Amino acid sequence: MQHELLQTNLSLDEAEHLQEKYHQKLKIQESKIIKILDIKKISWIVGVDVSYYNENLKEWGIAAAVLWNLNSNRMEHHSFAKEIITFPYKPGFLGFRECSLMVKAIKKIPETPDIIMCDGHGIIHPKRFGEAVQLGLILNIPTFGVAKNPFIGFSEWKALERTQGNKTPIWADDPQNSMVVNNALLGYAVCLNDGMKPMFISVGYKTTLDVAVEIALRTTKDHKQPEPLFFADYLSRKEF
């Protein structure tokens, strides 16, 4: 039976209901003891992204999944999936547009990834249910999000010195508000390369923020984002 989070013919209300439903399931899961992902045991990373084009009055999406060997720090394989997009673009609901395509591309990869990075948000999301969370739940594989732009939360990222490794927290509530207690850390704005705009990193599924940041830094070379995501974006556009 297909996972209901892969449905693409939902209304926005139906999609929001599923986000709330699975967020509650995750909260219950997080209250139990969960084995922490050990970065020393991570070899295979997949970076995945989706590009779009219009043809014959239809919107098409192309997902590229890049298999990255963390030990050699290089790309080993890539795969594509293509289909007509039926779910509308709406901030906060990107997973319902893209997860179906991304799953198809990832399943063509010859190795099962230890962790997946998405060009999008994880828990930096009004429902704490961004695209990276949704994808991880569907595949039951650890995930995290690396987004180019901020979404929600409070952060001093514009003042961050653009030196590789510098980071600043992204809080759920305004840390300057004295009425706020137990402020939740949603992620970090992290400079992955010198002189470049920071990326917005958050956990998705079954991983930790420290692991996500370390992997993002280790897989970044010449660009502002990690190489697996840079190549996923480049290859998906090239495939038009």
124-134 pLDDT, tens digit per residue, is: 999 999 999 99
Specify whether the CB–CB gap between 47 and 232 falls below 8 A. yes
- Across all residues in the chain, what is the average pLDDT? 93
CA distance to 12, 44, 138, per residue, from 7 (Å): 12, 28, 11
**Cβ count near 14 (within 10 Å):** 13
Q: List, in order, residues 6 or more apart from 16 with CB less than 8 Å away.
A: 93, 127
pTM (2 decimals)? Answer: 0.93
What is the total residue count of the chain? 240
Q: List, in order, residues 6 or more apart from 222 with CB less than 8 Å away.
A: 193
Q: Which amino acid is at 143?
A: T
Domains of the chain: 45-238 (3.30.2170.10)
80-125 pLDDT, tens digit per residue, is: 999 999 999 999 999 999 999 999 999 999 999 999 999 999 999 9
Does 75 score more than 90 pLDDT?
yes
